[in-house]
Amino acid sequence: MNSLILKTTVRFINKLLLLFSVFLLLRGHNEPGGGFVGGLVASTVFILYTLSEGYKEALAYLKVSPFSLIIVGLTTAILSALPSLFLGDAFMKAIWLETRIPIIGKFGTPFVFDLGVYFLVLGITLSIVLSLRKDSE
Amino acid sequence: MNNVLTIAPLLLPMLSGVLLLSIKQNIKLSTAVYLVSSILQFIVSSILLFTISESKFFVMHIGGWEAPFGITIAIDIAGSIMLVAGSFVSLAVALFAVNTVEPRRLQFGFYGLTQFLILGVNGAFITGDIFNLFVWFEVMLISSFVLLSLGAGKEQLEGTIKYVLLNLVSSAFFLMGVGILYSATGSLNFAKIASVAILNPDNSLLTLSTAFFIFSFGMKAAIFPVFFWLPSSYHTPPIVVTALFSGLLTKVGVFSLIRLFTYVLPTQQQEFSFLLKVLAGFTMVIGVLGAIAQNDVRRLLSFHIISQIGYMIMGIAIGTAASFAATIFYIVHNMLAKTNLFFAAGIQNQILGTYNLKKSGGLYKTAPYLSLLFIISAFALAGFPPLSGFPAKLTLISSGFSAGEYLISGVAIMVSFFTLFSMVKIWNEAYWKELIPERSAGSNTNKMMYLPVILMALAIIGTGVFFQPIYHLLMMAAHQLSTPELYINAVLGEV
């Protein structure tokens, strides 16, 4: 698609959407949001870019392959479940830091898990959408 | 340390699955990781089996959320026996896979996918939550969809579509059953459901949900009359995938039925006993008759899986402690014998270049060791002493007779003869018959391919000869299974 309006809008809206996805990720523990929704919103950034610029340009914009995002996400999520195990407690039990971290707020293993989900969802959505787009181009 | 051991059957395949997917382009490295991880899983599940004892369960509440609310992992003796058998089969499959699967499939992530399949299977063996069981089924199914269709040919895709469609139907019924059960008991935890169900056994919703579960698990286990997906899809992928599926997938369906009638809804076993007996009889007979009619080794063995599932359902239908013990051993025996027969068929294909029995022959002359290994597995399946099939059938049929179930036990004995007959058919056609001259023999076999087959054959002989200590273990497992109070106490704490 070659539309000047779309291209210009996407250039402006992309940063906002990325910021919004991070906001969703951070507020997700007790409020609507979280890694899954955040990842979906983040993937729309690149999907919009694919629509306005094209498949190859979107891959270049992403810089890493969607598949490596999947691996990073899965690994992060699994690793977040392990610390409690080594403290002699149940698998996946939440461990929270006492002190609050600026911006993130309350930090603990559930946040790391959510971060993993964020990358996993981003990677999977993009690998599906981009491979569909690749076929149509 | 116990908490690590409890979660290890899930954690190991999960970690190695992700690792293998991320290094799938490097075939040498991923092969090494795959083998090491398979061996490690076998060792860990063996440790689990040795440390578990009669009155003890390994229980873990995931995330520290206590029993009726969180997801529970509860390993009993029966579950750990299945873990050991399953990891042994997957180890043998690993040894076979590294020698047979072509690089193209490996680069698609074949090794990683088998790990995710095993993750699903292990999860289904040890979970204590009915919705979690559903999730493990899905994990298992999705990885098996991909394994079936990987590197697809036209025939392979056709088989996959049948498999996917029918399994989705089965999953839908499972989910409906879960919903009904939740509305009736207010919980998804096995122990909690059981404790509610024991107090209120006449609730018709429980009967309804059991019927849904029987349909769903029955479809996954391929029992009569919903078995037709199995022979139409199992012969299409590479033989090592078929071996893995035949060793694990249908058995998970059967094992879930055992769980259902022991820990989840022990009161429903009586009501469905007759239905299960009828289904078991038909499954046995129709499976074996279907097998005799086939000319493709893989199709023949696929029909055979169905027939053997009938025996396991029979054990569940009888429902005494002895019959549960026999069923568990039957599952183990079948995992070993059936997987090994598929391996033998794979090697036969490597030598002769065909699975078609009409076109093969002369293996007794060209591959005498393969003949020996085949005979061991085939005789085990038919129930010859001292192989694993003999104690399996003996304990099962004698538990039938002592429970007064003469008809179904008689059918089981009769089906054994047909089983032998169909094994003799493979023997006559592929091994005994003179080779048709234009086929060249002994072209592309790898000596290492025999290693898993020999291992499995040793296990078949071993479990048959040293059945006494195994029987003791089985009786302990059956005691746990037939005393749901032990399980309820272990999961919910002393009430």
pLDDT tens-digit map of B289-309: 999 988 888 999 999 999 999
* The pLDDT of residue B493: 80
* The pLDDT of residue B439: 54
- CA B470-B472-B477 angle, 5° bins: 90
User: CB A89 to CB B3 under 8 A?
Assistant: yes
The C-alpha of B162 sits at a distance from chain A's nearest C-alpha, in angstroms, of: 23
Coil, helix or strand at residue B407: helix
Q: Write the pLDDT tens digit of every residue in B177-208.
A: 999 999 999 999 999 999 998 888 888 899 99
At residue A27 the predicted structure's pLDDT band, cuts being 50, 70 and 90, is confident
Residue B61 per-residue DSSP state:
E
The alpha carbon of residue B88 and the mean position of all alpha carbons in its chain are separated, in whole angstroms, by: 12
Q: Write the pLDDT tens digit of every residue in A56-97.
A: 888 888 889 999 999 999 999 999 999 888 888 888 888 888
CA-CA distances (angstroms) from residue B384 to B77, B111, B284, B432, B464? 27, 35, 18, 20, 10
Closest CB to B18 among A75, A88, A90: A75
The C-alpha of B21 sits at a distance from chain A's nearest C-alpha, in angstroms, of: 8
| Rounded distance between C-alpha atoms, residue A4 and residue B269, angstroms | 69
What residues are paired with B61 via a beta bridge? B72
Comparing CA positions, the residue from B372, B407, B373, B379 lying closest to residue B393 is: B379
| Rounded distance between C-alpha atoms, residue B485 and residue B370, angstroms | 48
Closest CB to B3 among A75, A90, A94: A90
Q: Which residues of B touch A71 (CB under 8 A)?
A: 18, 21-22
The C-alpha of B361 sits at a distance from chain A's nearest C-alpha, in angstroms, of: 47
The alpha carbon of residue B285 and the mean position of all alpha carbons in its chain are separated, in whole angstroms, by: 20
Residues for chain B: how many in total?
A: 495
Mean pLDDT is lowest, of A4-13, A26-35, B174-183, for A26-35
User: Residues of chain B with pLDDT > 70: what percent?
Assistant: 97
Buried b (16+ CB within 10 A) or exposed e, B379-412: bbbbbbebbbbbbbbebbbebbeebebeebbebb
User: CB A88 to CB B3 under 8 A?
Assistant: yes
Q: Write the pLDDT tens digit of every residue in B317-344.
A: 998 999 999 999 999 999 999 999 999 9
Closest CB to B60 among A70, A71, A90: A90
Alpha helices in A1-137 (DSSP H): 4-27, 35-53, 55-62, 66-81, 83-86, 109-136
Coil, helix or strand at residue B75: strand
Q: Report whether the peptide linkage leading into residue B386 is cis, meaning its omega lies within 30 degrees of zero.
A: yes
User: Residues of chain B with pLDDT > 90: what percent?
Assistant: 58
The number of CA neighbours under 13 Å toward the Cβ of A75 is 12
Is the pTM for the entire model greater than 0.90? yes
Mean pLDDT of chain B: 89
- Contact present, B348 and B360 (Cβ < 8 Å): yes
The C-alpha of B129 sits at a distance from chain A's nearest C-alpha, in angstroms, of: 16
Comparing CA positions, the residue from A101, A112, A125 lying closest to residue A25 is: A112
* The pLDDT of residue B367: 84
Comparing CA positions, the residue from A70, A68, A66, A37 lying closest to residue A127 is: A66
Q: Write the pLDDT tens digit of every residue in B206-258.
A: 999 999 999 999 999 999 888 888 888 888 888 899 999 998 999 999 999 99
Number of H helices, E strands in chain B: 21, 2
Which run of H or E residues covers position B309?
helix B297-318
* The pLDDT of residue B387: 92
Contacts of A67 (CB under 8 A, 6+ apart): A123, A127
Please state the rounded mean pLDDT for residues B261-280: 90
Coil, helix or strand at residue B202: coil
CA dihedral A58, A62, A66, A67 (to 10 degrees): 130
Please state the rounded mean pLDDT for residues B395-406: 92
Q: Dmax over Cα atoms in chain B, in whole Å?
A: 74
CA-CA distances (angstroms) from residue A97 to A30, A75, A94, B351? 16, 21, 10, 62
| Rounded distance between C-alpha atoms, residue B300 and residue B288, angstroms | 9
Q: Which amino acid makes up residue B28?
A: K
* Domain definitions of chain A by residue range: 4-136
Structure tokens at A11: 């250039």
- Contact present, B399 and B315 (Cβ < 8 Å): yes
User: CB B62 to CB A91 under 8 A?
Assistant: yes
* The pLDDT of residue B227: 87
Which of B3, B12, B119 should we substitute to test contact with A (largest number of A Cβ atoms within 10 Å)? B3
Predicted-complex ipTM score: 0.89
Portion 56-85 of A in contact with B at CB < 8 A = 68, 70-71, 74-75, 78, 84-85
Q: Which amino acid makes up residue B6?
A: T
Portion 64-123 of B in contact with A at CB < 8 A = 64, 73
Contacts of A59 (CB under 8 A, 6+ apart): A65, A130
Residue B449 per-residue DSSP state:
G
- Contact present, A22 and A118 (Cβ < 8 Å): no
At residue B462 the predicted structure's pLDDT band, cuts being 50, 70 and 90, is very high
The DSSP-derived string for B228-284 is THHHHHTTSS-HHHHHHHHHHHHHHHHHHHHHIIIII-GGGHHHHHHHHHHHHHHHH
- Contact present, B67 and B61 (Cβ < 8 Å): yes
User: CB B64 to CB A94 under 8 A?
Assistant: yes
Q: Write the pLDDT tens digit of every residue in B411-429.
A: 999 999 999 999 998 898 8
Q: Write the pLDDT tens digit of every residue in B419-456.
A: 999 999 889 888 888 776 555 555 566 778 899 999 99
Q: Is the dihedral of CA B8, B14, B17, B18 positive or negative?
A: negative
